[in-house]
Homo-oligomer: A and B are copies of this chain.
């Protein structure tokens, strides 16, 4: 592989000059420039970005931590990051933490030792203090998480509003007896969605009933169990709002197993607008979580702060949107 040195020899100029035409950041006469370009071409020269990084103290890469590489949410966030980064000629180094604290920390350490110019982290297994300390070493933006000391660098979804919109969609179709299958309470997203649900109820003078609440864990199985538990209780309902789409799917399966005709006998609304939501039957009405946009925005914060791209507007909180499909029947 040809080096800048060989290029300089062939072109009959100095190392410095070759470097200048590569980065075209200094004046070079048209004549020498073409000479150099020609030499590069002739040698099939490709810059060694490792060497560039060492010398310039810039890797033009941003490190990303996600839980898994598969899965809709992460996929779209990564897409948002990667697309935006590519437009800026930067690139992405991805690591996974599998929602395990030790793995997440070691992934972060790795990204730092790899000299990423900045970090985008999706994590809930690592504590606030650690994140704050990291952010003092290297520009860091957090997606789907809020840490007060880093508020400017946190991107999140207004989950409360999302929960509100979901339940409101049910109410507007005439439903009053609405059950709720929640995600784990210790997750803020999950908690906020429930709060939104309750606000929608209250605003329409519907009293919230404990009988109509089931606590799941965001996995499909608990949606299934949840529906069965809820129907075992005396309080009847005509609709269910679910903390996410997986559980909505589970509830749909359980309901169908009990012989219900969907959506006629039971209306359901999900949350996340997961990839499979439109493949469900009936196609699931749900809340879009703006995953792609959040990834894009995380990148924008970095482009602005680290790579000094101006005229970029930052938005830290995203508004969820209702995606209307066919899983809600008019009552």
Q: Which residues of A contact B (CB under 8 A)?
A: 46-51, 53-54, 59, 68-72, 75-76, 78-79, 82, 86, 91-96, 109-110, 112-115, 220, 249, 252-253, 256, 275-276, 279-281
Contact = CB atoms under 8 A, between A and B. Distances in A.
Contacts of A93: 91-94
Contact of A280 (B72, B114, B115, B281): B281
A315 to B, nearest CB: 22
A59 B113 CA distance: 12
B53 A50 contact: yes
Nearest to A92: B94
Contact of A79 (B69, B82, B92): B69
B82 A71 contact: no
Given A70-B72, A72-B275, A275-B275, 12 more contacts: A46-B109, A47-B113, A49-B115, A50-B53, A50-B115, A68-B75, A70-B75, A71-B275, A79-B96, A220-B279, A252-B281, A280-B281
A7 to B, nearest CB: 14
A117 to B, nearest CB: 12
A86 to B, nearest CB: 8
Count this chain's copies in the assembly.
2
Nearest to A64: B94
A285 to B, nearest CB: 15
Nearest to A93: B93
7 contacts: A50-B54, A69-B78, A69-B82, A91-B114, A94-B94, A256-B281, A276-B279
Contact of A54 (B51, B76, B86): B51
A280 B69 CA distance: 23
A78 B69 CA distance: 6
Given A68-B79, A280-B281, A110 B94 contact: no
Contact of A114 (B50, B70, B276): B50
A112 B75 CA distance: 25
B79 A75 contact: no
Contacts of A110: 91
Nearest to A1: B137
Nearest to A80: B69
B96 A82 contact: yes
Contacts of A249: 279
A220 B113 CA distance: 44
A78 B82 contact: no
A62 to B, nearest CB: 12
A282 B18 CA distance: 64
Given A51-B54, A59-B50, A113-B48, A91 B82 contact: no
Closest 3 CB pairs of A and B: A70-B75, A276-B276, A281-B281
A69 B276 CA distance: 16
A135 to B, nearest CB: 15
A186 B65 CA distance: 37
A66 to B, nearest CB: 10
Nearest to A292: B70
A73 to B, nearest CB: 9
Contacts of A75: 68-71, 75
